[in-house]
Amino acid sequence: MAKPALPAVVSNVTARAPRPRLPRVSVPRVAVPRVGVPRVRVPQLFSGAPFDLDERDPEFIRGMLPRLWLAASVYFRAEVNGFEKVPDEPVLFVSNHSGGSMVPDTFIFLLAYNTYFTVEGRPLYSLGHEMVTGLPITGPLARKMGVVTAGHSAATAAFERGGSALVYPGGDVEALRPWRDRNKIVFDGRQGYLRLAHANGVKIVPVVCTGGQDTFFVLNDGRKTAKALRFDKLLRVKTLPLSISFPWGLLPGDLPHVPFPAKIRIQVLDPIDITEKFGADPDWDQAHDYVTSYMQAGLSTLAAKSVLPVIG
């Protein structure tokens, strides 16, 4: 079936009717004395590396695969299934995010993808937080693995050169969700992934993962703490939870840690064509509701395979 033509402009801004112009009203200026602490523009402390898809290094990935395989198979006893469902075209993988700052499910997925589709096959670019791509030492390593600073431009560039993209709409909020919500999809209302897939005419391939949130334990979500400390402005991080991890023990927030050897399972689900299902001008709320519902059913089904937390 022929797809409807999409606008050539790659933008996630939906065209709107022009706002009606209101009549100008002149208001006399009144001097108002400033009271309290003057507002200070808080600079963002961290900025990620600008994206450069050529930083993905297939030979480096090939060299990393044996190490990743050891960690994935022996330490995490990982299982990844469902790649046969992925169509032979650029797609947007949409996954739930777990494991805090260490994100073991991301590296296991990269390992499985690069072995199933081969390192020289369709490249996969994972859209990551600025802190992943911008840190010294680990940032360049991540970029060589195909991690790029998250943004619509980066994903669009990946699709244009025939690659696929992996995105985690839930971001830090989901990766730092409390342990009691470990089997829940928490996208925090973010819908940009829908616009991204629709604007670029690519299908969404949902991916669900369990076990990542057993590699450390989050006791609360810490949203109020993060907001009070303005972490959302400084670091673009919306949560500051209490967590238990090794070797730190009980810690506010999350630092790079040694993940507990939890069993990780990843399941690729059937692709979703947003344009085919919701039309050329989708109701984004309806589309988001459908995708998250589908993923939640898949995640709960995958979680039912667990026998005991951490152990598997």
- Residues engaged in binding other proteins (CB under 8 A): 81-82, 183, 267, 269-270, 290, 293-294, 296-309
C-beta closer to other proteins: residue 12 or 296: 296
- Report in angstroms how near the CB of residue 241 gets to other proteins at its nearest: 23
Provide the minimum distance between the beta carbon of 284 and other proteins in the complex, in angstroms, as a whole number.
16
Burial environment of residue 66 by CB neighbours within 10 A (0 to 12, 13 to 18, 19 or more)? exposed
Residue 105 or residue 172: which is nearer to other proteins going by CB? 105
Cβ-based nearer residue to other proteins, 44 or 81: 81
State in angstroms the smallest separation of the CB of 177 from other proteins.
16
Q: CA-to-CA distance for 138 and 132, rounded, in angstroms? A: 7
Q: How far is the CB of 93 from other proteins (least distance, A)?
A: 15
Is residue 220 within 8 A of residue 197, CB to CB? The reply is no
How far lies 128's CA from each of 65, 112, 140, 148, in Å?
Answer: 20, 18, 13, 6
DSSP bridge partners of 147: 126
Residue (98 or 306) nearer to other proteins, CB: 306
Q: Which is nearer to other proteins, 82 or 192 (CB)?
A: 82
Neighbour-count burial of 126, counting CB atoms closer than 10 A to its CB (0-12 exposed, 13-18 middle, 19+ buried)? buried
Judged by CB, which is closer to other proteins: 215, or 306? 306
Smallest distance, Å, CB 42 to other proteins? 39
**DSSP of 13-58, one letter per residue?**
PPP-PPPPPPPP-----------SSPP-PPPPS--PPPP-GGG--H
d(CA 87, CA 212): 26
Cβ proximity to other proteins, 69 vs 290, nearer residue: 290
Least distance from C-beta 297 to other proteins, angstroms?
4
CB of 307 to other proteins, least distance (A): 6
What are the phi and psi torsion angles at 39 (to 5°)?
-70, 130
